[in-house]
Structure 1
């Protein structure tokens, strides 16, 4: 089936074709016709399936007819995070270029002045996070009784973030006669209740079983001690053919510390989390999209909905506390038919968390082992050769040139003392190596597999 078969206008089809798309994804194929027929729908689809376009495209055609009024948006899209709201806005700008539609973006972290000005001029499409929308509503800066169409996106994430009471309040202020669309990766009981309360005979569209993972993603678990995580991550970043990667951590402090550590080690990395203001977030995301950095360290604020092409790897530096977050995190790779690899670091204390993930996905995550390594491996028993230091993106030539320059500094009278100092340092290193258990992947040194890596 082609987009032309879905009933979209010629102007909209031109925009879709310009964006490089010809065939709709399953969720788009099933959702767009009933939306154009003004039916309520519930869309259950995993991330990366083209869900956003399944409501953006028909909304553009629906909103093409009608008159704007000050303070009274004609349609409303609710998103759980600023990043998701901004990406939906980008979709409207891209696909709506041939339509005379006015859009406003209401998100926190930016000044209200321009947002209020846009509302006063009248908007066809309002994209908002619940917090900023409630703030403006309570200030009397927005009226919701002229809204003809409502989209609640990432409903299960809204539930996780505690937004359901706000959504219930917002829905109570909307006209009863309206079209409502709800999209979610999973359908827990509170979301089912919400749909029954505020939707009218919705058509249910489920393109994949809830909580399943994308078939284009090869997922691994890496059994590793808490203290070996950073070294393990660095080894994988250098040896697993990583083009671009998103590294997720459970805490904002871990995100900051890990990003600094990667930068010190010469990696081109950036960070995004809840303590960074919106302008900085946008700038960091743009640097990642433009290729200035190829590693983005993130908290779960960025886990849902970020649509960045070409992410080859996802690393769960921490096993996610909530199993649903696992699905959404690894969904940043393997998008739009591309292949991706996802690694989850599992420390001994993460046993229950990874067990919950496997129960939810109904799938055992493969332990990363010898056969999965992407570099040439050799048996260390053949020689006591020193492991070559992997090259990093920003490793300076000066470092390589400094090493031979140090040799002349050694004096003969010092040569007897220097070995004493170096031998005093070796036992801790040997202790660490001995502490690594045998078996599958257990640390950054290629010795974790009983072999060493060569480029």
Structure 2
């Protein structure tokens, strides 16, 4: 196992690492930091929570020349929240630099004129932001990116999904031809490949596969909604389970509104996060969540990929996401940094196939239910399949008849099938008795001889 000292970082980088409490590199850091330090173009494929933000920040911040008044590093992120997270991490490292390293965050929903005014006096060394606002600043001739030596596209698949790849393409087209480009993504969709081929020369592609799909510090509970009110069930889980901080995930903005509205009506103080919330409101709500002013957050999947909320003890999947990758991202919000966590998934009978697919990923569910205001163990939903059959096994020739008997057929024909099955079982029992009687006679003869 490597240490951070083995990367030969400047002393201030090691001080910043120590201040963060990092003791040893994660797998993605161990594999990719040496490549980035060598100047290689890199495509890093790794899951959320793998430590990839510091994978690119540490070696790039190590290369910055603070004496130059020019942009040296450009980083795009698909959401304001993710950009803010990267900005905070970069600012923390910059605090330890002996020479000033200027880090700027350009995102929508902030004071554009103020940002333009600041750029007239000096350029930031590190530019972080959403593609739209960065491109806007470039079009205003205020942000001078022609000097950039390093370009990072973080969460590239999410950038594609949210429709920002066109803006990233325009930004990349105005950057110097010879620069180091780093792309990080949980997945590499086909639609992303033309962009990568267009701008990346001989990239090194590293896929960091999780040793476990979900941290072993997380308990995965599965709760059936059959015959129950889903919103009421969520309310019970939040009040009976006593979470420190819980995120409830829903698939649509409408469902987020519905769930949060119900919980508020029950007297709970709930934060709501989805794409229709204004940027200023989202920023305010996120600050309040970080300050623990809210104990409950209801959000869409945008939050699963773009927001890093510390101290999440419980995640509740109000419904199973259509894209099962999002299940992993949602559950990964809890049980971080070795802490324990609980992920609760609500399912209906129509979700059976999705539950099976999640189990095929290596997730083990514990079946639970709420009984007398307590969360208790319940029956495995597959208990009937696992239970040994008490009926006699059928001859192969009758298996087809059994299958037919389960379909809609004429009553007379069904009686014939039942009689055939019954007769087959009688014959088997007679054969068994004969064998037992023969065995008994043989034993009697041996004992008399």
Same fold, TM-score > 0.5, yes or no: yes
Q: Secondary structure at the match of 1:319?
A: coil
Name 1:80's counterpart in structure 2. Answer: 78
Name 1:223's counterpart in structure 2. Answer: 224
Question: Is contact 2:13-2:93 (8 Å) kept?
Answer: yes
Question: Is contact 1:46-1:212 (8 Å) kept?
Answer: no
Unaligned 5+ segments in structure 2 are: 382-449
Name 2:365's counterpart in structure 1. Answer: 366
Q: Residues of 2 paired with 1:173 and 1:373: CA distance?
A: 64
Q: Residues of 1 paired with 2:372 and 2:352: CA distance?
A: 24
Name 1:110's counterpart in structure 2. Answer: 110
Unaligned 5+ segments in structure 1 are: 379-437, 442-455
Q: Secondary structure at the match of 1:311?
A: coil
Equivalent runs, 1:34-113 vs 2, <5 Å: 34-65=35-66, 67-69=68-70, 73-99=71-97, 100-113=100-113
Q: Residues of 2 paired with 1:291 and 1:172: CA distance?
A: 42
String of CA shifts for 1:105-125, please: whole Å, max 9, x gaps. Answer: 111122211222233320111
Q: Residues of 2 paired with 1:60 and 1:301: CA distance?
A: 28
Question: Is contact 2:367-2:379 (8 Å) kept?
Answer: no
Q: Residues of 1 paired with 2:211 and 2:349: CA distance?
A: 28
Cα deviation for residue 143 of structure 1 reads: 3.7
Question: Is contact 1:185-1:211 (8 Å) kept?
Answer: no
String of CA shifts for 1:147-197, please: whole Å, max 9, x gaps. Answer: 210001011111211222322222222111001111111122233443333
Aligned CA distance change for structure 1 residues 370 and 440 (closer, same or farther; 3 Å): farther
Q: Secondary structure at the match of 2:305?
A: coil
Name 1:208's counterpart in structure 2. Answer: 209
Q: Which deviates more, 277-286 or 365-374? A: 365-374
TM-score using structure 1 length = 0.75
Name 1:3's counterpart in structure 2. Answer: 4
Q: Residues of 2 paired with 1:191 and 1:53: CA distance?
A: 23
Name 2:132's counterpart in structure 1. Answer: 131
Structure with greater Cα Rg = 2
The answer to whether the aligner puts 1:152 opposite 2:150 as a matched pair is no
The size of the alignment, in residue pairs, is 377
Aligned CA distance change for structure 1 residues 122 and 198 (closer, same or farther; 3 Å): same
Q: Residues of 2 paired with 1:211 and 1:326: CA distance?
A: 14
CA root-mean-square deviation: 2.9
Q: Residues of 2 paired with 1:164 and 1:314: CA distance?
A: 30
Question: Is contact 2:241-2:375 (8 Å) kept?
Answer: no
Q: Residues of 2 paired with 1:264 and 1:151: CA distance?
A: 44
Cα deviation for residue 209 of structure 1 reads: 5.1
Question: Is contact 2:213-2:363 (8 Å) kept?
Answer: no
TM-score using structure 2 length = 0.76
Name 1:318's counterpart in structure 2. Answer: 319
Name 1:175's counterpart in structure 2. Answer: 176
Q: Which deviates more, 2-11 or 365-374? A: 365-374
